Amino acid sequence: DTAVSQTPKYLVTQMGNDKSIKCEQNLGHDTMYWYKQDSKKFLKIMFSYNNKELIINETVPNRFSPKSPDKAHLNLHINSLELGDSAVYFCASSLAGGRRWETQYFGPGTRLLVL
Amino acid sequence: AQTVTQSQPEMSVQEAETVTLSCTYDTSESDYYLFWYKQPPSRQMILVIRQEAYKQQNATENRFSVNFQKAAKSFSLKISDSQLGDAAMYFCAYRSYTSGYALNFGKGTSLLVTP
């Protein structure tokens, strides 16, 4: 029983293409996140949704657009892919953000390579 | 924004020995939470241990313990009886209301365990 799943795990694509990464959690959590891990392993928050409402939107290019059809899913769509978008993208989820001690559970990550 | 600093890019320890990974953070808040995550070569992010800032008692989880010095804004991780399976990247992370409950990560420490 996978708690937080992401598809695909690997994504190789050409510059200029549009791609999506899907994330689903079966933990009953109501807050979901997207993090980006760059080539130096640095992890940084991109977006956060609580009950399908956007609550964090860090300085990320407009080409990145999160979509939450329901509170168990948070997808990431990327337009006009650039070389610098190559990274590992992690989805995570937790219970309501008001309980700050809540553990965030991470998906397995999606390695995106833009050629 | 809060910053998290891990000053040791790499550490090495022999099996069965003890190693301490350091982490400092910068914040003006009094209520926050600190975490250590482990990322093995499989890329999966695994929670190792967490600490609530209002608790003076240091958290422990089996062979893992922290030394939390709130005044010094220091949160080090001690791994006792190191095992080969402990080899991984270790990330220190900070979470609070003003971070929107997202995790602010340090740059990580790569731990090598030698037989």
Each residue's pLDDT tens digit, B50-82: 998 888 899 999 999 999 999 999 999 999 999
Distance between CA A102 and CA A95 in Å, rounded? 6
Say yes or no for a CB contact (<8 Å) between A97 and B101: yes
Tokens 């337009």 correspond to what residue?
A79
Q: Say whether pLDDT at B2 is over 90.
A: no
Each residue's pLDDT tens digit, B6-44: 999 999 999 999 999 999 999 988 888 999 999 999 999
Q: Please give the pLDDT value at position A99.
A: 59
The closest alpha carbon to A78, from A41, A46, A56, belongs to: A46
Q: Please give the pLDDT value at position B97.
A: 76
Distance between CA B76 and CA A31 in Å, rounded? 28
Each residue's pLDDT tens digit, A52-100: 788 777 778 899 999 999 889 999 999 999 999 999 999 999 886 555 5
Q: Least CA distance to A56: which residue of chain B?
A: B100
Residues paired with A10 in a beta bridge: A111
B111 touches chain A (CB under 8 A): no
Give the confidence band of A44 by pLDDT, cuts at 50, 70, 90: very high
Residues paired with A102 in a beta bridge: none
Q: Say whether pLDDT at A109 is over 70.
A: yes
Q: Classify A21 as helix, strand or coil.
A: strand
Say yes or no for a CB contact (<8 Å) between B104 and A41: no
Q: Say whether pLDDT at B1 is over 70.
A: no
The alpha-carbon gap from A113 to the nearest alpha carbon of chain B, in Å, equals 16
The alpha-carbon gap from A17 to the nearest alpha carbon of chain B, in Å, equals 26
> What are the Cα distances from residue B114, in Å, to B10, B36, B91, B111?
13, 22, 20, 10
Q: Please give the pLDDT value at position A6.
A: 97
Q: Say whether pLDDT at A50 is over 90.
A: no
The alpha-carbon gap from B110 to the nearest alpha carbon of chain A, in Å, equals 10
